[in-house]
């Protein structure tokens, strides 16, 4: 994947070229094994393959060009950061992925060992200087979600320009007030670093752009659930992952084109797997690029993933911002309202999540659910028990998996997943 | 004729079925060269289909054996094997060389739920095997050695390495080694009881896998669960039998 033409750009970003080459090599190999080996993929996936092959190339070049024109790059780790506002000051918002075991040893010198892999990974990426996205950011937004992240941002903040948003942990009136003041504080910060003012017009456009992106993903999520399954779960996961760093307008267009192709496939009653393949839903912690381990194991064990309840899945696309607001104030309220619907495990209580999982399991007619939590993730591991209980009420079997990014447990995971698939088929 | 083979981390077992009858049983250590052990165990065996289970199930291929092969997980293999031997069984505990499984069954013998230890071998046959060498007692005798103890000493760690540290420090304090061994068996039993409770323990419980040969684990399970687990005659062959039965059902479909 290494294009010599980008080397200068990477050097300018102060990446560790050797370590970075190593990362690209692993990424390329993973991608080849897990994605390119699939049979009968839709033509529209070529766009995704292209985007991924250029993830550290062309897309970074676009970011550099945008920066040269004076636009700012905002990095995020969590779906709580309203992209609508970033777009309204003509900034580019990118999700910083943190899905690979890299720089873990270095990370463990500043965060405890019993920290989840996602956190170690974003710290590790920074310390090893291998992520061109992290290095391109003019500002990185942290949020006070789980304790692990909250404290890790203190260490991370010493290495990168950060702004921390406080996310309430309950959904009472006082929490909503707090959240609104945090959204306003984020708005001020954006206006400060870009020197641009958010206007009713720019915010309306920002809302529309992000809603359109969500609508395209909603459409995809409905279509993917058809029987026989028209697209692999891995491919949909990839699409969701790419939605965090691609240009939103271009992405929306490409996904709608892909959806047209899926519709054709459905009309012909064609599937990527036989009609009687067991259908599974994945629920739990977000899976960042290139964390494709579990979906790959599932889909090579004779099952197919047809829905995803995670931040890199329906949690991020389920709700839209109301578009009827006309003034900045009204629109900010609509944004606050929408983001407070996020059912992250950091909230207490968090019963909406249980309801949403139950509903999604019904809608996508799954034979079982695999609940995935990253090792040492308190919020999601806790909720595993509740999710299992809720699903048991509707007689949906669930398998709980706790793992990280390393490959040492792949064989055990395969046995478990295969046994679960045997059990439900 | 169908062969069922269970390729575990420590040993592999073979069962050959002719119709309903078991006409051959063999067992070999897996070693670090499972492929040549597979050839050895299959030596002279002519069957129509080989059905493999266990962590090495994917090693069994037509290229290697010259016979069509199929595979299934240990979970399903144990469920099939045990329900064949004990049709009324509702819960299975299988403690093998490197993993422990608790499986609950529906009345019809299908798997309802299962639990498995993850990446580490705590509380498995490996744990006992390692600690028996610390005591310099052959693994076959480690159970009866422990049963000579009268008061199990508390061993807190489930981890093989830490448990060894605890055991040696108890030895250094001059504690009775039989009591220490009893404590080590107790820690396995505690761990498996937790697993059984998580899948919902319903009687009858069948205890299988290599560790079901250990008299002390059996006794302590009885004492802590107030249940008399059923134990197959050759508990380590249940997986291979299940695999063979699965092979037979596949053959009917083919
Ligand atoms: S799981 Fe929670 S903390 Fe993590 S990205 Fe989602 S909303 Fe943010
Ligand atoms: S996976 Fe869990 S522990 Fe890790 S950052 Fe997300 S919420 Fe926190």
Alpha carbon nearest to ligand 2 atom 7, residue: A146
Size of interface A-B (CB pairs under 8 A): 35
d(CA A174, CA A134): 34
Residue B152 near residue B187, CB atoms below 8 Å: no
β pairing state of A304-309 and A279-284: parallel
pLDDT in tens, A2-21: 455 899 999 999 999 999 99
Alpha carbon nearest to ligand 1 atom 6, residue: A311
How far B87 CA sits from the closest chain A CA (Å)? 18
Q: What is the pLDDT along chain A (425 residues), one digit of tens a residue?
A: 445 589 999 999 999 999 999 889 888 988 989 998 888 888 889 988 998 889 999 999 999 999 999 999 999 999 999 999 999 999 999 999 789 888 899 999 999 999 999 999 999 999 999 999 999 999 999 999 999 999 999 999 999 999 999 999 999 999 999 999 999 999 999 999 999 999 999 999 999 999 999 999 999 999 999 999 999 999 999 999 999 999 999 999 999 999 999 999 999 999 999 999 999 999 999 999 999 999 999 999 999 999 999 999 999 999 999 999 999 999 999 999 999 999 999 999 999 999 999 999 999 999 999 999 999 999 999 999 999 999 999 999 999 999 999 988 888 899 999 999 999 98
Nearest alpha-carbon partner for A399 in A375, A419, A383 = A419
Q: Tell me which residues of chain B have a pLDDT lower than 50.
A: none
Res A144: pLDDT: 96
Interface residue ranges in chain B relative to chain A, Cβ cutoff 8 Å: 55, 72-76, 99, 110-114, 116, 118-119
Cβ contacts of B70 on chain A, cutoff 8 Å: none
Q: Kindly give the distance from the C-alpha atom of residue A149 to the centroid of ligand 2, in angstroms, as a whole number.
A: 7
Cβ contacts of B119 on chain A, cutoff 8 Å: 408-409, 412
Cβ contacts of B126 on chain A, cutoff 8 Å: none
How far B115 CA sits from the closest chain A CA (Å)? 9
**Start-to-end C-alpha separation, chain B:** 14
3-state secondary structure A41-59: CCCCHHHHHHHHHCCCCHH
pLDDT in tens, A113-156: 999 999 999 999 999 999 999 999 999 999 999 999 999 999 99
Cis before residue B204, ω within 30 degrees of 0? yes
d(CA A400, CA A89): 42
Query: Residues with Cβ within 6 A of ligand 1?
Result: A 78-80, 145, 286, 311, 342, 344, 346
Alpha carbon nearest to ligand 1 atom 8, residue: A78
Q: Is B3 helix (H, G, I), strand (E, B) or coil?
A: strand
Res B253: pLDDT: 61
Return the ligand 1 atom nearest residue A285 CA: 1
**How is chain A split among helix, strand and coil, in percent rounded to 5?**
55, 10, 35
Run of H or E residues at A417: helix A410-424
Q: Kindly give the distance from the C-alpha atom of residue A93 to the centroid of ligand 2, in angstroms, as a whole number.
A: 21
How far B52 CA sits from the closest chain A CA (Å)? 13
Q: Is A1 helix (H, G, I), strand (E, B) or coil?
A: coil
Residue A405 near residue A292, CB atoms below 8 Å: no
Question: How many CA atoms, within 13 angstroms, populate the side-chain half-sphere of residue A193?
Answer: 24
DSSP readout, A321-357?
A: --S---SHHHHHHHHHHHHTT---TTSSS-HHHHHHH
d(CA B7, CA B27): 10
Res A80: pLDDT: 96
Question: How many CA atoms, within 13 angstroms, populate the side-chain half-sphere of residue A167?
Answer: 26
Cβ contacts of A423 on chain B, cutoff 8 Å: 75-76, 110-112, 114
Alpha carbon nearest to ligand 1 atom 3, residue: A145
Residues 6+ apart with CB under 8 A from B10: B29, B30, B96, B97, B98, B125, B126, B129, B210
Q: Is B1 helix (H, G, I), strand (E, B) or coil?
A: coil
d(CA B227, CA B125): 22
Res A3: pLDDT: 55
Q: Is A139 helix (H, G, I), strand (E, B) or coil?
A: strand
A119 touches ligand 2 (CB under 6 Å): yes
Cβ–Cβ gap A408/B119 under 8 Å: yes
What are φ and ψ of residue B116, in 5° steps?
A: -140, 145
Whole-structure pTM value: 0.89
A230 touches ligand 2 (CB under 6 Å): no
d(CA A339, CA A81): 9
């Amino acid at each position: 994947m290494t294009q010599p033409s980008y080397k200068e750009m990477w050097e300018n970003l102060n990446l560790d070229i050797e370590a970075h080459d190593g990362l690209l090599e692993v990424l390329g190999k993973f991608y080849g094994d897990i994605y390119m080996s699939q049979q009968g993929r839709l033509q529209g996936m070529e766009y995704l393959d292209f985007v991924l092959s250029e993830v550290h190339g062309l897309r970074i070049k676009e970011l550099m060009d945008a920066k040269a024109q004076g636009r700012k790059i905002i990095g995020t780790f969590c779906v709580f950061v309203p992209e609508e506002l970033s777009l309204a000051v003509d900034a580019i918002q990118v999700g910083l992925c943190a899905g690979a075991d890299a720089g873990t040893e270095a990370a463990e010198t500043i965060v405890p060992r019993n920290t989840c892999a996602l956190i170690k990974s974003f710290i590790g990426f920074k310390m090893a200087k291998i992520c061109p996205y992290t290095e391109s950011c003019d500002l990185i937004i942290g949020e006070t979600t789980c304790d692990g992240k909250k404290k890790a941002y203190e260490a991370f903040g010493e290495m990168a320009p950060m702004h921390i948003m406080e996310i309430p942990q309950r959904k009472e009136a006082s929490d909503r007030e707090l959240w609104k003041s945090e959204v306003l504080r984020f708005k001020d910060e954006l206006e400060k670093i870009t020197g641009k003012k958010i206007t009713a017009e720019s915010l309306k456009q920002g809302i529309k752009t992000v809603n359109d992106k969500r609508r395209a993903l909603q459409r995809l999520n409905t279509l993917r659930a058809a029987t026989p399954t028209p697209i692999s779960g891995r491919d949909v996961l990839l699409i969701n992952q790419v939605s965090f760093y691609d240009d939103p307008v271009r992405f929306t267009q490409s996904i709608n084109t892909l959806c047209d192709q899926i519709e054709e496939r459905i009309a012909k009653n064609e599937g990527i797997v036989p009609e009687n393949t067991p259908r599974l839903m994945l629920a739990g912690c977000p899976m960042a690029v290139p964390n494709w381990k579990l979906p790959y194991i599932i889909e090579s064990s004779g099952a197919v993933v047809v829905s995803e309840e995670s931040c890199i899945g329906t949690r991020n696309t389920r709700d839209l911002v109301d578009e009827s607001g006309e003034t900045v104030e009204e629109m900010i309220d609509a944004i606050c309202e929408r983001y407070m619907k996020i059912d992250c495990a950091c909230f207490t209580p968090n019963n909406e999540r249980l309801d949403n999982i139950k509903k999604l399991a019904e809608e996508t007619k799954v034979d079982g659910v695999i609940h995935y939590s990253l090792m040492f993730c308190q919020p999601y591991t806790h909720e595993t028990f509740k999710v299992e209980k809720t699903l048991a009420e509707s007689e949906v079997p669930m398998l709980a998996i706790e793992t990280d990014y390393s490959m040492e447990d792949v064989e055990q995971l395969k046995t478990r997943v295969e046994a679960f698939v045997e059990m439900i088929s | 004729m169908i062969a069922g083979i269970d390729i575990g981390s420590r040993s592999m077992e073979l069962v050959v079925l002719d119709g309903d009858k078991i006409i051959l049983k063999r067992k070999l250590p897996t070693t670090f060269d499972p492929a040549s052990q597979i050839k050895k165990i299959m030596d002279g065996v002519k069957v129509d289909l080989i059905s493999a289970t266990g962590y090495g199930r994917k090693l069994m291929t037509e290229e290697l054996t010259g016979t069509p092969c199929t595979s299934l997980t240990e979970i399903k293999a144990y469920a099939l094997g045990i329900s064949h031997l004990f049709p009324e069984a509702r819960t299975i505990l299988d403690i093998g060389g490197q993993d422990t499984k608790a499986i609950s069954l529906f009345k019809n013998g299908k798997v309802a739920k299962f639990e498995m230890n993850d990446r580490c071998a705590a509380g498995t046959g490996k744990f006992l095997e390692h600690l028996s060498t610390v005591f310099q007692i052959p693994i076959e005798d480690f159970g009866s050695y422990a049963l000579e103890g009268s008061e199990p000493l508390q061993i807190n760690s489930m981890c093989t390495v830490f448990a060894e540290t605890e055991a040696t420090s108890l030895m250094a304090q001059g504690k009775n080694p039989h009591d220490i061994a009893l404590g080590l068996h107790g820690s396995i039993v505690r761990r498996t009881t937790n697993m059984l409770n998580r899948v919902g323990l319903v009687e009858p419980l069948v205890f299988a896998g290599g560790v079901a040969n250990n008299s002390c684990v059996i006794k302590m399970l009885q004492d802590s669960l107030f249940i008399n687990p059923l134990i197959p005659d050759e508990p380590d062959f249940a997986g291979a039998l299940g695999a063979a039965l699965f092979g037979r059902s596949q053959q009917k479909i083919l």
